[in-house]
């Protein structure tokens, strides 16, 4: 079904779902992708697969260059080079400080992006920073959205991410066809910062579900239950969750590859804790789970995936 959102690309209106002369997706303007890590590389691939011209930039240039060689995308040596003439600029980086540097460093996005460009931060970052980027970008003629995602590495690979957007609604509608190349659940939440607030709520729920399935596995191990049968028994009932269905089996197999890094989850929970402290509210579960993951980071496990929490419960001295 033809989508109703329309965008002006290179002087022509192209609707999501339409093709150019019936020949498939046309190259609809230049896109810059900043951040080619675990998730960003897959997300950029989906845009390129739709026929868009994508230029990559990564602070570690070898990552962008390797992806460019594999896919035919272009790798740039600097943000200034990457964003030059781009109509859409996406970021998927690790920490708020990385987002801030990408925007404010000399030669960064605010210095180098063309007025009228859409700039979409898909990193998980601080809501207050999203508001500031929207305001400062607007003064330079840029249309800035915060649009963090949920779904991990598998969601990025399969283009099934949940995308939560904040900013001006007309800008969201303009970028929507590109979001649809990367995700399935795409929601406009409200003004700048509201995408990040929604992602914070998402991470609160994920923290609880992750700790819960980990403790269920620890309990099963202690009482002699077959953990695989246990997961099958409870997964279809009230205990069922995406985390239980997808991440608990990975933990059981000893697959601790990072669909989402522990170090990034710690960052997210600290953002949440800071937001609540400013409002005089305490979230005891978040603080408890944050403490568990900080313990793991102290053990040198911060580059594992979040499902590696089971390692902490398996320690003999715990």
Catalytic member of 199, 229, 267, 311: 199
Span 234-258, pLDDT tens digits = 999 999 999 999 999 999 999 999 9
pLDDT score, position 259 = 86
Query: Do residues 80 and 103 lie in contact, with contact meaning Cβ atoms separated by under 8 Å?
Result: no
Work out the average pLDDT over 74-79. Answer: 97
Match 């246990």 to its residue by tokens.
Answer: 230
What pLDDT does residue 28 have? 61
Note the pTM of the prediction, 2 decimals. 0.87
The pLDDT of residue 315 is: 83
Asked if the model's pLDDT at residue 22 lies above 70, the reply is: no
Per-residue pLDDT of 193-208, as tens digits, reads: 999 999 999 999 999 9
Q: Is 199 a catalytic residue?
A: yes
Mean pLDDT across 266-289: 95
pLDDT-derived band at 6 (thresholds 50, 70, 90) equals: very low
Strand (E) or helix (H) holding 270: helix 262-278
DSSP string, 202-264: HHHHHHHHHHHHHHHHHHHHHHT--HHHHHHHHHTTTT--HHHHHHHHHHHHT----SSBHHH
């Amino acid at each position: 079904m033809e989508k109703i959102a329309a965008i002006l690309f290179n002087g022509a209106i192209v609707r999501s779902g339409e093709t150019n002369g019936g020949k498939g997706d046309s190259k609809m303007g230049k896109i810059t992708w900043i951040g080619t890590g675990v998730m960003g590389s897959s997300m950029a691939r989906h845009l390129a697969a739709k026929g868009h011209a994508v230029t990559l930039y990564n602070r570690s240039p070898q990552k962008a260059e390797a992806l460019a060689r594999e896919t035919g995308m272009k790798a740039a040596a600097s943000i200034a080079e990457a964003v030059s003439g781009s109509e859409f600029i996406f970021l998927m980086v690790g920490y708020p400080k990385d987002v801030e540097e990408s925007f404010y460093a000399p030669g960064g996005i605010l210095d180098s992006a063309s007025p009228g460009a859409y700039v979409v931060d898909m990193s998980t970052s601080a809501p207050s920073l999203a508001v500031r980027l929207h305001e400062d970008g607007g003064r330079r003629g840029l249309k800035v959205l915060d649009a963090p995602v949920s779904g991990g590495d598998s969601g990025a690979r399969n283009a099934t991410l949940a995308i939560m957007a904040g900013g001006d609604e007309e800008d969201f509608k303009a970028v929507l066809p590109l979001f649809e190349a990367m995700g399935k659940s795409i929601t406009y939440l409200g003004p700048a910062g509201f995408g990040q607030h929604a992602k914070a709520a998402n991470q609160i729920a994920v923290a609880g579900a992750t700790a819960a399935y980990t403790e269920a596995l620890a309990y099963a191990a202690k009482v002699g239950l077959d953990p695989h049968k246990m997961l099958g028994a409870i997964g279809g009932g009230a205990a069922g969750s995406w985390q239980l269905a997808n991440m608990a089996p990975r933990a059981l197999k000893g697959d601790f590859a990072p669909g989402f890094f522990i170090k990034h989850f710690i960052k997210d929970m600290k953002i949440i804790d800071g937001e609540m402290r400013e409002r005089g509210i305490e979230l005891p579960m978040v603080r408890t789970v944050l403490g568990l993951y900080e313990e793991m980071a102290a053990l040198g496990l911060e580059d594992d995936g979040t499902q590696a929490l089971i390692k902490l419960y398996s320690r003999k001295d715990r």
